[in-house]
Amino acid sequence: MPRQTAATVADLLALLGDGDPVPAGVLVEQLGVSRPVLARLVAEAGERILRLGKARATHYAARATAGTSNAWPLFRMRADATLQELGTLHALRGDRFHFQPSGESPNLTRSVDAVSGYFPGLPWFLDDLRPQGFLGRTLAHRMGRQLGVPEDLTRWQVRDTLTAILHGGTGMGDLLLGQFAVERALAELDTPTDAVTPAQRAQRYPAWAREALAGEEIGSSPGGEQPKFTATVDTGRSRYAALVKFAPPDEGQAARRWAELLACEHLALNCLRDAGLDAAESELIQTDGHTFLEVRRFDRMPGTLGRRGFVSLLALDTAFIGEGPRDWGLAGEQLLAAHWIERGTADIMARLHWFGRFIGNSDMHLGNLGFHLPDTGPLPLCPAYDMLPMYLAPSRTGIVRPASPLPLAAPARGGQLPHIAWAADAALRFWQAVADSHHITSPELNQLAGENHAAVATFARRFAG
State the Cα–Cα distance between residues 3 and 32, nearest whole angstrom. 9
What average pLDDT does the segment 212-225 reach? 59
Write out pLDDT tens, residues 240-251: 999 999 987 777
Beta strand pairing call for 96-101 and 228-234: unpaired
Q: Angle CA(98)–CA(104)–CA(107) in degrees, nearest 5? A: 65
What average pLDDT does the segment 138-156 reach? 77
Average pLDDT, the chain: 90
Asked whether 268 and 429 are in contact (CB, 8 A), the reply is: no
What average pLDDT does the segment 195-203 reach? 96
pLDDT-derived band of residue 465, with 50, 70 and 90 as boundaries? low
pLDDT of residue 215: 63
DSSP per-residue codes, 173-241: SSEEESHHHHHHHHHHHHS-TTEE-GGGHHHHHHHHHHHHHTT---S-----SS-EEEEEEE-SS-EEE
Q: Which residues are catalytic?
A: 363
Instruction: Report which of 366, 200, 164, 418 is spatially closest to residue 292, judged by C-alpha positions.
Output: 200
The DSSP call for residue 30 is H
- Using the predicted structure, report yes or no on whether residue 379 has a pLDDT greater than 70: yes
The DSSP call for residue 302 is T
DSSP per-residue codes, 238-287: -EEEEEEEE--SS-SHHHHHHHHHHHHHHHHHHHHHHTT--B--EEEEE-
State the Cα–Cα distance between residues 335 and 329, nearest whole angstrom. 10
pLDDT of residue 1: 39
- Using the predicted structure, report yes or no on whether residue 185 has a pLDDT greater than 90: yes
State the Cα–Cα distance between residues 205 and 393, nearest whole angstrom. 23
What average pLDDT does the segment 334-349 reach? 97
pLDDT of residue 147: 78
pLDDT of residue 153: 80
Asked whether 298 and 386 are in contact (CB, 8 A), the reply is: no
pLDDT of residue 135: 60
Report the predicted TM-score, pTM, of the whole model to 2 decimal places. Answer: 0.90
What average pLDDT does the segment 108-130 reach? 89
- Using the predicted structure, report yes or no on whether residue 134 has a pLDDT greater than 80: no
* Residue, of 140 and 383, whose pLDDT is higher: 383
Write out pLDDT tens, residues 415-425: 999 999 999 99
- Using the predicted structure, report yes or no on whether residue 140 has a pLDDT greater than 80: no
- Using the predicted structure, report yes or no on whether residue 54 has a pLDDT greater than 90: no
What average pLDDT does the segment 122-143 reach? 80
Asked whether 151 and 141 are in contact (CB, 8 A), the reply is: yes
- Using the predicted structure, report yes or no on whether residue 137 has a pLDDT greater than 90: no
pLDDT of residue 159: 87
Dihedral (Cα; 344, 349, 352, 356), 10-degree rounding:
-160
- Using the predicted structure, report yes or no on whether residue 312 has a pLDDT greater than 80: yes
What average pLDDT does the segment 62-78 reach? 87
Asked whether 425 and 270 are in contact (CB, 8 A), the reply is: no
Return the number of other C-beta atoms located less than 10 Å from residue 314's C-beta: 20
